[in-house]
Structure 1
C-alpha cells in the first residue's frame, strides 16, 4: 500500500486552468500508481479550464459545489458526487458559475512516454 496524507499533497499548475488550485493526491512518485494519477482541483467562483482537449481520457468526480461542463455547446451542470468521462480528443470547457468553491477529483492516465 502507498499512503499519502492530504497535508503531504503537492500543488501543481494545470495548463489552461484559471482561478484553480490543484493538489496531486497520488502519482508521479515512488511506490505510487503505475497507470494514472489523481488530482484534487479547487475552483474559486469564476474559475475553470479550457476550452481544450487532451490526447487521453480523464474522469471528473465532483466532491463539493458544482461545475458546468460544456462540450459541443451543450452545457451540463455537475453537482456533488456526479462524475463524467471526457474522452480523448473531446474539446471541453469547465466553469464554476456559483459563488462557492468547487472541489473535484480528476483521474488522468500518465502521458505516453516519448
Structure 2
C-alpha cells in the first residue's frame, strides 16, 4: 500500500492549460502506481485546457463546480461527480465557464518515459 497525504502533493504544470493549478496526488514516485498517475486540477473562472489531444486516453471526474467539454463542435457541461473518458487522439477543449473555481480529478497513463520521474 502507498499512502500520500494531500499536504504532500506537489504542483505540476500541465501543457496547454490556463487558469489552472494542478497537484499530483499519486504517481511518479517510489511505491506509487505503476500504470497511471492521478492529478487534482483546480480551474479558476475562465480557466481551461486545449484545444488539443493526446496519444493516450484520459479520465476526468468533476468534484466541484462545472466544466464544459467541447468535442467536434458539441459542448457538454459536466457537474459534480460527472465523469468522462477522452480517447486517444480526440481533440477537446475544456473550459470553466462559471464564476466559481472548478475542481477535477484526472487519471492518465504514464508516458513511455515513466522512469525519468518527470511529466512529459
Normalising by structure 1, we get a TM-score of 0.98
CA distance in 1, matches of 2:85, 2:75: 15
CA distance in 2, matches of 1:22, 1:41: 4
Q: Which residue of the partner structure matches residue 47 of structure 1?
A: 47
Cα deviation, 1:1-55, whole Å, max 9, x if unaligned, reads 1000000000000000000000000000000000000000000000000000000
Superposition CA RMSD, Å:
1.0
Q: Which residue of the partner structure matches residue 80 of structure 2?
A: 80
Q: Which residue of the partner structure matches residue 109 of structure 1?
A: 109
Q: Which residue of the partner structure matches residue 18 of structure 1?
A: 18
Does the residue aligned with 2:99 lie in a helix, a strand or coil?
coil
Matched, 1:66 2:66: yes
Does the residue aligned with 1:7 lie in a helix, a strand or coil?
helix
Segments of 5+ residues of structure 1 without an aligned counterpart are none
Segments of 5+ residues of structure 2 without an aligned counterpart are 115-120
Normalising by structure 2, we get a TM-score of 0.93
Matched length: 114
CA distance in 2, matches of 1:56, 1:71: 16
Q: Which residue of the partner structure matches residue 27 of structure 2?
A: 27
